[in-house]
Structure 1
Amino acid sequence: MRTRTRPVLVYDGDCAFCTTSVNFIERRLPLSCSITPWQFADLHSLGTAQQRAEYELLWVTPTGTVYGGAQAVAKLLLGAGKGWALLGALLTLPPVRWVAHGAYRLIANNRGRMPGGTPACALPANRRPGQQLPD
């Protein structure tokens, strides 16, 4: 088993809103992580499942701890340093953490309606265009 030395950010590569968001992050933040769509990740070796990866953004530490949703965003920001780290730290503190969780769920549940989103973003992964339906 290969040991990871950097965290991994796992996102939904079939979702245009998610992909646009990750592209923005890659351009604007100094990153110390690997970024991969869940569709190309070995989710089992990352210690998570497809169902969770479809539901939320994931941050997987080198030791295998998995953070999801707003806390994954917080970990990403903490790792970016400078002012980004301050924002990330705020996202981990109650009551900001609770508000961040609610905001994340609202956005994630409506990502098909967000700028850059497509109707396919709102579909479960097995019903998206190009995905094979089970027999």
Structure 2
Amino acid sequence: MRFLHSMVRVRDLEASLAFYTGLLGLVEIRRVENRAGRFTLVFLAAPLDQARAADEWAPLLELTYNWDPEDYGSARNFGHLAFEVDDIYATCAKLAAGGVTILRPPRDGRMAFIRSPDQISIELLQKGASLAQAEPWASMPNTGTW
């Protein structure tokens, strides 16, 4: 058995791509538009998984955009996606500069939580050992839920 992908439904494909590719840094591997089914599938990979994902179609994040509007609720029942990052502070600073609220700041130099435009929880984990605690993160409170 091996992991293939996680699928999340998105309300606004362009906003979601701006978040996942522009801010989070994922790479689009393939796209499928199904006119009969009225949906678009976009498969994304983390940069270090890009070659493997293009060859094996895994591990991937599948964004499903249904052309007809639907109410998906708060998406809290999904759980979360998790990505390892080289520098948790730099990643959170980039996301915050892009308008993303850091819900659980990386006070410990190890872990942070954010949400996508569709309210999908995303855990960011520092690669390797935790970074030394640093401001403004060390004293930043939690915001909302993740």
Give your verdict on TM over 0.5.
no
Larger radius of gyration: 2
User: Which structure has more strand as a fraction of its residues?
Assistant: 2
User: Which structure has more helix as a fraction of its residues?
Assistant: 1
What TM-score, normalized to structure 1? Answer: 0.31
